[in-house]
Amino acid sequence: MANQHHPTPMLDELENGPWPSFISGIKRLRDEHPDDRIKNVSNDLLGQLEHSYETRKGYWKGGTVSVFGYGSGIIPRFSEVAKSFPESREFHTVRVQPPAGNFYTTDILRQLANSWEKFGSGLVTFHGQTGNAMFIGVNTTNTQSFFDEINEYGFDLGGAGPCVRTGMSCVGAARCEQSCANEQRIHRTLLNRFTDDVHRPSLPYKFKFKVSGCPNDCVNAIERSDFAVIGTWRDDIKIDQEEVKNFVAEYGRDKVHLDVINRCPSKCMTLNEDNTLSIDNGNCVRCMHCINVMTKALSPGDDQGVTILVGGKRTLKIGDLMGTVIVPFMKLETEEDYQGLVELAENIIDFWAENGLEHERCGEMIERIGLVNFLKGMGLEADPNMVNHPRLSSYIRMDEYDEAAENYLRHKMEQRQAAAG
């Protein structure tokens, strides 16, 4: 028998209006689900939530819950008002790693729904902001059973706490012509190399990988990941001049000037008299704007690879940090290329694990020790693409300037030789 329903006058207000209501969903579980356990959990969850709405306070506290063999992946929640709402006393979230790009078949979603219904509350979110599928609301005992079941058919937990976190990647090459990378392979190569660090928190703080196939950065990698992999290209933008002419015919020259030519940040485009387009590719900063507007006429070049930026994060604790370019361009074609990517990630995580303070993100460590010391630790050479402008402050000792200058010039010469074959 289900308990008597808690009254929810405030939550009821959220059933009004045209946008789908999560409150109606929880009520359906309370009223229509065949399992009394789920009915009762939903009822008490609604009761506690209504109590939060009335008193304008949250009533969950954390704790320690994990599955056998792991230390991570469950967000424990215990109710502080369990006396009034005992059925949702324990309401943990199981973080599950989704496939890169968040692809699912309806079959696998149903299978996950069945498992979740068997052990959990029946509430799920695709996805949390860290990228996990969030199975919200399970007690400590059933956490293990749910994990065992989904783990048998191919799912694993994501990260929580000071560890490598679940990765995110855009839809990418699966459906986007702007993709310059194999996001699926990058994502799985990186993440699965660090599976042990996902499951067993032992780092200074969280570490996130995100992969975007192009500089549009649809997964927000630069701002929200410690290790951002962004697809890009280094040869010329591909132009289909017939499509350019079609575009001009459709929108007019003025509109092309207004929307495309004048919005180019490096002013590297010209609309010719014959309605074809010229691009000074040496000046193009690969911002994507023109490609976004003229989707048929323009596309990224063929010599594709990735830019890597390190140290992006939000707010805590020294404020917002964007990732910093540490590798302007890296080819990702061969096994060796991917090995190089993994080694870079290993070096960064090792260095940060050694040098980071407790609760200090990688970007904050770089801010504290300076990019130069970080580069030294990584064995990376300084590159003008790493900065917005060279140093302003004249207070610096230049003890080894000559040697550094010589190294730079030698490095450039080697690059030219390599390019010339």
Smallest gap from Cβ 310 to another protein, in A, equals 15
| Contact pick of 104, 280, 339, 354 for another protein (by CB under 8 A) | 104
- Please select the residue that binds another protein; options are 7, 252, 319, 370, rule is CB under 8 A: 319
Regarding 356 and contact with another protein (CB under 8 A), the answer is no
Q: Is 274 in the site for another protein (CB under 8 A)?
A: no
**CB 155, min distance to another protein, A:** 6
Contact 317/359 with Cβ under 8 angstroms? yes
277 binding another protein? (CB under 8 A): no
Q: Does 58 bind another protein (CB under 8 A)?
A: yes
Among the listed ranges 22-30, 270-278, 333-341, 375-383, the one in contact with another protein (CB under 8 A) is 22-30
Q: Map residues 287-316 to x or -, x wherever contact with another protein holds by CB under 8 A.
A: xxx--xx-xx--x--------------xxx
**Kind and range of the H or E run holding 374:** helix 371-378
Examine residue 74 and tell whether it contacts another protein (CB under 8 A). Answer: no
Nearest to 211 by CA among 232, 186, 236, 235: 186
If one counts every other C-beta atom within 10 angstroms of the C-beta of residue 144, the result is 16
Which of residues 253 and 411 has its CB atom nearest to another protein in the complex? Answer: 253
Q: Where are the alpha helices (DSSP H) in 201-274?
A: 221-224, 241-251, 253-256
Question: Per CB under 8 A, which region of 150-158, 329-337, 342-350, 373-381 contacts another protein?
Answer: 150-158
Q: How far apart are the C-alpha atoms of 383 and 231, rounded to whole Å?
A: 19
Tokens of 360: 């200090």
Binding-site member from 7, 103, 278, 370 for another protein (CB under 8 A): 103
Q: What residues numbered 207-226 form the site for another protein, per CB under 8 A?
A: 215-224
Find the shortest distance in angstroms from Cβ 43 to another protein. Answer: 13
- Phi/psi for 398 (5° steps) reads -115, 35
What distance separates the 2 farthest-apart alpha carbons in the chain? 82
In the bound state with another protein, the residue whose beta carbon lies nearer, of 371 and 408, is 371
Residue 387 or 405: which CB sits closer to another protein? 387
For residues 312 and 229, the answer to whether their CB atoms sit within 8 Å is no
Q: How far apart are CA 264 and CA 256, in angstroms?
A: 11
Residues 260 and 267: their CA atoms lie apart, in Å, by 10
Report how far residue 219's alpha carbon sits from residue 154's, in angstroms, rounded to the nearest whole number: 24
For residue 106, state whether it binds another protein (rule: CB under 8 A). Answer: yes
Q: Is 20 exposed, middle or buried (CB count within 10 Å of its CB: 0-12, 13-18, 19+)? A: exposed
> Footprint of another protein on residues 76-95 (CB under 8 A)?
77, 91, 93
Residue from 19, 64, 83, 394 touching another protein (CB under 8 A): that is 19
**End-to-end CA gap in the chain:** 78
Distances from the Cα of 17 to the Cα of 20, 22, 49, 309, angstroms: 8, 12, 20, 42
| Residues from 371 through 410 that contact another protein (CB under 8 A) | none
Which listed residue (13, 235, 303, 414) binds another protein by CB under 8 A? 13
Q: Is 60 a binder of another protein (CB under 8 A)? A: yes
Please select the residue that binds another protein; options are 84, 126, 385, 387, rule is CB under 8 A: 126
Amino acid letter, residue 287: C
Q: Which stretch binds another protein (CB under 8 A): 53-61, 276-284, 341-349, 394-402?
A: 53-61
Q: Total residues at the site for another protein (CB under 8 A)?
A: 130
Retrieve residue 75's tokens. Answer: 């967000």
Beta strands in 190-302 (DSSP E): 209-212, 227-233, 238-239, 269-271, 277-279, 298-299
If binding is defined by CB under 8 A, does position 370 make contact with another protein?
A: no
Span from 59-67, 272-280, 335-343, 347-355 in contact with another protein (CB under 8 A): 59-67
279 contacts another protein (rule: CB under 8 A): no
User: Should residue 369 be labelled a site residue for another protein when binding is judged by CB under 8 A?
Assistant: no
Interface with another protein, residue 16, by CB under 8 A: yes
Residue (136 or 344) nearer to another protein, CB:
136
Contact (Cβ atoms closer than 8 angstroms) between residue 361 and residue 226: yes
Structure tokens at 302: 């063929």
Contact flag: residue 35 with another protein (CB under 8 A):
no
